[in-house]
A and B are shown apart, each in its own frame.
Chain A
Amino acid sequence: MSASRTAFYLDKGNAKWLGVCSGIADYTGIDATFVRVGTVIATFATFPLGLIVYLVIAWVANTKPLGLYEDQSEAKFWEGVRQSPTRSTRDVRGKFRDIDRRLADIETYYTSRNSRLASEIDSLR
């Protein structure tokens, strides 16, 4: 079974320290820099609670498995799913409908061309 793409992971690949901030950035799609600045401010504002929360997250959460996504667009898609599954599902449906419409265009072209050909043959009789 493949690993879940909607779970929270520590992102050790882009980590500054334990990968919590980069993990949050990866999970939500927010820029890692903003997450880090926010974390630092929160750490000072709520000392030592913020630090404890950070360490607990680092201890509890799993590390992001290697090769979770095949490419960038897949990673982007799952980021969207984490934000709103409904919207992502609607996007996929939109894609199917688009393909259906384009296929219908081709079908119409071929059927109308065949009927044009048939009528031309008919007129030659």
Chain B
Amino acid sequence: MAEDIFVPVIVLGILFIGFPWLILHYVTKWKQAKTLTNEDENLLDDMYDTARRLEERMVTIERIMAAENPNWKMSG
């Protein structure tokens, strides 16, 4: 009978193709949404480094400013 062949074929198809497909589909979607690409990571690393160095320079400059003009913050 046709049903004896079709039902197992459909069930096996859902089990071994449908489910992995569904899971992998959502895994890839989740990965795309959540993780940074390698370039993004390098860019962020660079920005973080730059920000930190700028911050250090800023602190140095502010210290020099405070030493040269003790009340620059008030008058500025």
Contact = CB atoms under 8 A, between A and B. Distances in A.
Contacts of A99: 51, 54-55, 58
Interface of B: 35-36, 38, 40-42, 44-45, 47-48, 51, 54-55, 58, 61-62, 65, 69, 72-73, 75-76
12 contacts: A2-B42, A5-B41, A6-B41, A81-B44, A92-B44, A92-B51, A99-B54, A99-B55, A99-B58, A109-B65, A109-B75, A109-B76
A79 to B, nearest CB: 13
User: Main secondary structure on chain A at its contact with chain B?
Assistant: helix
B48 A77 contact: yes
A96 B54 CA distance: 8
User: Main secondary structure on chain B at its contact with chain A?
Assistant: helix
Nearest to B34: A85
A102 B58 contact: yes
Question: How many A residues are at the interface, by size bracket?
Answer: 20 to 34
B58 A4 contact: no
Interface in A35-92: 74, 77, 81, 85, 88-89, 92
Given A95-B55, A109-B69, A112-B76, A102 B62 contact: yes
